Amino acid sequence: MGDCACNSGVKIIYSCSGAADVGELSDRAVRQLRKEGIAQGSCIAAIGVELSGYVQSAKGADMTIAIDGCPVGCARLNLENIGVTPVAINLAELGFKKGESPYSETLLCGCGGNC
């Protein structure tokens, strides 16, 4: 069996963390993925105001992942604004609707969380 490269390189994951229910869901999903060791978490607000250390970390990562809750895609857009093209996941594209997707452990686990 070959060696797994799953955990090699620096992976940073961001969520929109918006005020809507889908923003909370994206934030909780990122926290779960971080807890499982899938990627390091970082602050999308710091990217938005272009704090140099955060921007350098995002640009230097081997992989950046943005999980957004709604079609606006704020996490993805903030990363693209600094020249980083993330792997973008949008919960709206997975059928979640703003105002109709209150957070629950069951819902998070259905998104791939290992609860």
pLDDT digits (tens, 9 = 90+) for 50-107: 999 999 999 999 999 999 999 999 999 999 999 999 999 999 999 888 876 666 666 5
**Residue whose entry in the numeric block shows the structure tokens 């452990």:** 105
Determine phi and psi for 15, rounding to 5 degrees.
-125, 160
Tokens of 65: 């992942």
Q: Is residue 95 part of a domain?
A: yes
Residue 1 lies inside a defined structural domain of this protein = no
Examine residue 56 and state whether it is found in any structural domain, yes or no: yes
In a domain, 94, yes or no: yes
Residue 111 is assigned to a structural domain of this protein: no
Residue 43 pLDDT exceeds 60: yes
> How many domains does the structure of the chain reveal?
1
Query: Could you tell me which of 85, 91, 86 has the C-alpha nearest to residue 113?
Result: 91
Instruction: Look up the domain containing 64 and give its range.
Output: 11-100
